[in-house]
Copies of this chain bind each other. A is one copy, B any other.
Amino acid sequence: SGPPPPSEIKNILTATVSQEISNRQKLFTTDPISPGSIFFLPNGTKIFNKLTQFMRLQQLNPKFGFQEVITPLIYKKSLWEKSGHWDNYQKDMFRVEGQDIQKETYGLKPMNCPGHCIMYAKNDHSYQELPLRFSDFSPLHRNEASGALTGLTRLRKFHQDDGHIFCTPEQVSQEILNCLKFIDLCYIKVFKLSKGYTINLSTRPKDHFIGDLPTWDHAEDVLKRILQDSGKSWNLNEGDGAFYGPKLDIMIKDHKGKEHQVATIQLDFNLPERFNLKYKAMDNTFKRPIMIHRAVFGSVERFLGLLIDQNLGKWPFWLNPYQAVIIPINTKETDQIQASRNLLNKLRGTEEIKDSNVDIAPIPMNSFHFNVDIDERAEPLGYRIKDAIIKNYSYLIIVGENEVSTKTFSIRSREDRKNIQHLTEDEIFNMFCQLEQTYK
């Protein structure tokens, strides 16, 4: 069957790099027992949880205003028939069946939208409640062909920082502009993607779509107008919209120059129709809300893969599973070992709430817990420093005789071997808190 085409080779290279870094840093693994699903190892899970926590916090900002929900993963076939997935998306879905007598057929969800429509439809809504914005971090499953599965960027199981906005026609522009601001906050301000991103406007697919042509034309025009008003540059990507509506796809490039879709903003007049969604307008009539589907990371797994592709394992402090290593200079000196271990416990933040009545008290809510290790191996100092740098620890903390007697520790960053600071336990802890709080 010949060599893979050039685009495939690029795919493979990116996947190889992230797998190599993952092996070194013990981030994730895969197994043929579940092709296209990631096993996140403890270090990868730490990064994954930090990313979702970051997103949860930003969604609280009243400028964005999402409310998180947790929704089912399997729904009866009739839901997918109603939503149009069974007609237009079936071969990308996994079918689920009970093995009891009833053998009811379900679909394992590839998207959260129909579930959110069900939730919306459970209550009456007034225009005063809109926009209503649901956020959902559910795992999603899409049956990608096994040949297409690549690293973290194309999977069968993945999580989105998914959100659906139910709003009035008048609110659509502002909501989409807010989504674009959210994307800037994430990609430019916090993750500082050096090459920025491009925007694709993806329009109605040739076949496999629901709804009528005038509705599609209108939705595409709305998106075009918003893009023009925003002053951002964009490309037309004809025929690549979702089956229920056109979308803006945010694309970023990996270090090989291959483009990946990350964030997405989709405008949908069709699902609200199919699920008969309504709100009571100011004039007391019932109107149809408009639905905006949006994700800022897109697939959390893919976003993580692209971070690895960009930083090659040199994580910023707040995301680093290797935030600091403590190296006692002379591992035969019990003073140095003891001081190192005390510092380790302090930085790991495993102190319990003070309570003299119990054997074990809880660790407090919202406390800081840094990923700090100790290297007590009886190896030369230079060897252990070199090893720490290879492992990409953000900070190296050296504990010698001097440090033990003055109770201040020598600390240097991964990058700057010349700038050594001398800080107390509390000063180091507070510096780390400051770095993590501000996503540095």
Check if A323 is an interface residue, CB within 8 A of chain B: no
Known: A41-B119, A99-B143, A139-B139. A94 touches B106 (CB 8 A): yes
Known: A39-B119, A189-B362. A95 touches B96 (CB 8 A): yes
Inter-chain contact A54/B365, CB cutoff 8 Å: yes
Instruction: State the majority secondary structure of interface residues on A.
Output: mixed
Say which one of A13-21, A73-81, A213-221, A266-274 lies at the interface with B.
Answer: A73-81
Say which one of A277-285, A291-299, A352-360 lies at the interface with B.
Answer: A352-360
Check if A195 is an interface residue, CB within 8 A of chain B: no
**Chain B residue nearest to A43 in the complex (CB):** B67
Interface flags, A106-117, vs B, CB<8A=1, else 0: 101000000100
Chain A residues 162-199 with CB under 8 Å of chain B are 181-182, 184-185, 189-190
Can you list 22 residue pairs at the A/B interface with Cβ under 8 Å? A33-B76, A39-B69, A42-B67, A42-B68, A45-B70, A50-B365, A54-B362, A58-B362, A60-B363, A61-B350, A61-B352, A73-B141, A74-B108, A94-B98, A94-B99, A95-B99, A102-B146, A185-B360, A189-B362, A362-B439, A365-B436, A365-B439
- Residue numbers of A with Cβ under 8 A of B are 29, 31-34, 37-42, 44-46, 48-50, 53-54, 56-58, 60-63, 67-76, 78-79, 90-91, 93-100, 102, 106, 108, 115, 118-119, 122, 139, 141, 143, 145-146, 157, 181-182, 184-185, 189-190, 318, 348-350, 352-353, 358-369, 433, 436-439
